[in-house]
Amino acid sequence: MSLQFAGIGAILLVAMAFPVIILFVSRLLSPKRSAKYKYTTYECGLETQGDTWIQFKTSYFMYALLFVAFDVETVFLYPWAVKFKVLGTFAFVEMFIFIAILILGFWYAWKEGALEWM
């Protein structure tokens, strides 16, 4: 039984060692001297004018969160739709509950005014 998990263990070791090796090689090959222009603010090839630290409205982040939530829903819907006939009624009910929870959350965000632009 433990021999069956040897492949998973090897992949896990490679997955843990690879980022460490990449960071080490990057530090080894990167230039050591720092240039003055490296720390200047750069925006589209032009020098910035005015205050470069501005705050964004939180509504942008709310739209991003909703996008991610519905994007994850789509990721779960694709395999379910492919195996719909094989899974049967139980999977249909489970997916209905999943979509209902997402719609309920969307309705709550809409009711609270989180999706108002201004």
pLDDT digits 0-9 by tens, 39-67: 666 656 666 666 666 676 777 777 788 88
Which listed CATH number (3.90.1580, 1.20.120, 2.60.40, 1.20.58) goes with 6-111?
Answer: 1.20.58
Is the pTM higher than 0.75? The answer reads: no
- pLDDT value at residue 13: 95
How open is the CA angle 42-46-48, to the nearest 5 degrees?
65
| Helix (H), strand (E), coil (C) string for 6-59 | HHHHHHHHHHHHHHHHHHHHHHHHCCCCCCHHHHCCCECCECCCCCCCCCCCHH
Pair 62, 112: CB distance under 8 Å: no
- pLDDT value at residue 100: 92
Domain map of the chain by residue range? 6-111
